[in-house]
Amino acid sequence: MTARGVFAGGFEWTDNSNFLPMNSPVPLGATEESAPRPRSAFTANLNPSVIGTYETPRSLTELQYTLQFATVLGVGQQVNYTNRLELRHRYDLTDLTVVNFALRGTQGQQTMYPEPQPGAATTLIVPGTFVFGTAEVAENLTSRLSPDVVFTQALGGNIFVPIDAKPARPNVFAANVALALQYNDDPTNYGLTLNSQLAAAGEIECDPWATVNACGANRTCAVATHRCVIDASVTEAARKILEARTNPPTLGSRLAVNIRHDFKNGFNGEADLGVQQLMRLTDAGGQNWQPAGRLSIRFAEEDVTAALNFNHGTQLNLDLGGLVLADNVDLVGAVPLDRQTRRFGTQLQLAYQRGTLIDALGNLLPGFQVFGADLALTYRPETLLPNLAFALRYAFRYQITEPAANGNAVSYDLHAMRNAIALNVGFEFPERKPVQ
């Protein structure tokens, strides 16, 4: 049984701490001067974690606790925190078959923009204030059927529960299953993958006294429950259709062929091309067929890495409460400035995402666009604490949210922009020895 700790923390300045749109509408009763607008702020963050490891000849078990804490300096009410507990277990069933399990639980609070971790995928973030809880379970099995053939199977599920959210957010449940078969013919790998993802969201509370009916046609907001209900005048046949099309669970299935090739000069390429079907789970209606795929070119040589990725397919977005059809382009890279000692280095990430919402009839609706950039200068002295590292980081984000993606709160696109400069430090103790 061993234990180690990892510490990360730092300070940041941003010109938009809550990531508010620059053209937000003025609330009723407010003036242009008093309306919420982007404001600059200094924040401090602290992210320690403790990891316990237990290893046997056939298994490895890890228990990890992580705290993520951030606060706006001088404003005690603006605090983001996350308590995360994770259990990971790997077991060698045979010399050729390995199974992995993971259980994760998170409880936290968000009152300002949650700074994405470096390298995280760029996606829509809806600003707001809420307390939340999440739970996740995952299982993965890998079996080598022959020297050249590998079978992979995965199962997973997660739930997201927001509490006292402003603006209101739904509970979200998701589950997924994946099967893959790979054949290795060095330097090329061929694969066939099949995966399905289910997403369901609960209804959010409505306002029975609102001047605009947010429940839609043939539905009203009940005074007693603050929930949308079907009008009593609706016929039984129409009621069944309306129930099937109102906030239904969505099932997305994808079948694809995968090809990876190693050019043996530091470069490797990957193409994953297939077809994807989306439909309502309630009555198998609202079907939408889409091409799906991913193209990647990567380079790795010593400490120099780079990758360019294109992806088209569905993704789960907790802020929107379900699946979105998204196109992603990502360019990431890392280059040491001092090739002799490798103490100084640079990291770069440029990203773009175009997300499209899918309604209950399978129609594609306007959605959102996100532009992101992250540039860092890193320094590793290698003489003080184990894996001690400093980073000076600049982050940029520009987000365009179209009416269908902001709950039709306004009839025009909302534009939000954020610049941030951060100084971070991290280390671990005791030092984890590299695996031989």
Kindly report the CATH number assigned to the domain that includes residue 55: 2.40.160
Three-state SS at 240:
helix
* Residue 68 banded pLDDT, cuts 50, 70, 90: very high
Instruction: For 125-169, write each residue's pLDDT tens digit.
Output: 777 889 999 999 999 999 999 999 999 999 999 999 998 888 788
Does 233 reside within a domain? no
| pLDDT confidence of residue 33 | 63
pLDDT for 257 beyond 70: yes
Element (H, E) at 241: helix 236-245
- Residue found under tokens 């694969």: 191
Q: How far is CA 350 from CA 113, 230, 282, in A?
A: 20, 46, 39
Contact 224, 259 (CB under 8 A): no
Lowest mean pLDDT among 60-74, 86-100, 374-388: 374-388
Number of domains in the chain: 1
Does 188 reside within a domain? yes
Contact 231, 239 (CB under 8 A): no
Does 241 reside within a domain? no
| pLDDT confidence of residue 341 | 77
- Rounded (10°) CA dihedral 9, 14, 17, 23: -160
Which are the contacts of 27, defined by CB distance < 8 A and separation ≥ 6?
35, 36
Instruction: For 199-232, write each residue's pLDDT tens digit.
Output: 998 888 888 888 777 777 788 888 888 888 888 8
Of 390, 425, 386, 431, whose CA–CA distance to 51 is shortest? Answer: 431
Does 184 reside within a domain? yes
Does 215 reside within a domain? no
CA distance 150 to 180: 8
Average pLDDT, the chain: 87
Q: How far is CA 244 from CA 41, 247, 285, 339, in A?
A: 46, 8, 9, 61
Instruction: For 393-419, write each residue's pLDDT tens digit.
Output: 999 999 998 875 555 455 578 889 999
Does 182 reside within a domain? yes
Range of the structural domain that residue 98 is part of = 2-202+247-429
| Percent of the chain residues topping a pLDDT of 70 | 91
Does 214 reside within a domain? no
| pLDDT confidence of residue 27 | 62
Higher pLDDT: 174 or 39? It is 174
| pLDDT confidence of residue 405 | 54
Does 50 reside within a domain? yes
* Residue 349 banded pLDDT, cuts 50, 70, 90: very high
